[in-house]
Structure 1
């Protein structure tokens, strides 16, 4: 999803919690072909949200840039 204004995050390693620097994003579970339907998640005023498909807990961290995650490596980058 290169150049897309909404970041996509994946969780190949099966982390229980991923901290992100945005409150609106897409979760795709694991990288294809093991992904789930790509779902839009919006935390609104809340500090965290759980993906209904993969149960990953996403936690907002204002110190992170929109394309950063903790643990690192959870930004989904589509293969060329």
Structure 2
């Protein structure tokens, strides 16, 4: 996970290490982008929850690395 502030990255790392399950909610257009230089690495199994704007190729990259991906249906469905 990409963060602008090192303090937020440390907090997210701590939360992920203590959690039984980790879910990351990210808008599809943010996948594959790296606008910041600070990263929180998720070492355990985790699930990405995104929306239909996520490109299939980007979803496949996550799945190939062992991430479970859930795509939420568009609003109203």
Q: Pick the TM interval, shorter chain.
A: under 0.3
More helix by share: 2
TM-score (norm 1): 0.25
More strand by share: 1
